[in-house]
Amino acid sequence: MDALNQSETAVQSIDAVPYPLAFNPVTTALLLIDMQRDFLEPGGFGDMLGNDVSLLRSTIEPCRAVLQAARQSAITVIHTREGHRPDLTDAPPSKLARGHLA
């Protein structure tokens, strides 16, 4: 069986709300964006913005479960993160203003 045929027959399904999700692990990726302490922990940038980080922290375990399932299914996993110099000289003015650091 060539790669195209394999990808056509590899469709999986998981229970999800509002309906089951069908996907092909060969052509699917999990993208986790900004799951960083600075956004999710008390005292971090997210907290400085006035976000209720307890609500944000509630996403950690569901994301961990999805990440584990993706790895077990051999799905490509992509993590992004935002980073700046310690003195924030490379941060855009809009970010500094949101954090009241301008």
Beta bridge partners, 80, equal 33
- pTM above threshold 0.95: no
User: Domain for residue 92, yes or no?
Assistant: yes
Q: Are 25 and 10 in contact (CB under 8 A)?
A: yes
Q: Supply the pLDDT for residue 64.
A: 94
User: Domain for residue 14, yes or no?
Assistant: no
Q: Supply the pLDDT for residue 4.
A: 46
Q: Supply the pLDDT for residue 32.
A: 96
Question: Distances from the Cα of 43 to the Cαs of 1, 25, 53, 56, 97, in angstroms?
Answer: 54, 38, 9, 13, 17
Q: Supply the pLDDT for residue 3.
A: 47
**Cβ of 97: how many Cβ atoms within 10 Å?**
10
Show the domain range for 52. Answer: 28-98
User: Domain for residue 2, yes or no?
Assistant: no
Count how many domains the chain has: 1
User: Domain for residue 63, yes or no?
Assistant: yes
Ranges in the chain, pLDDT < 50 = 1-5
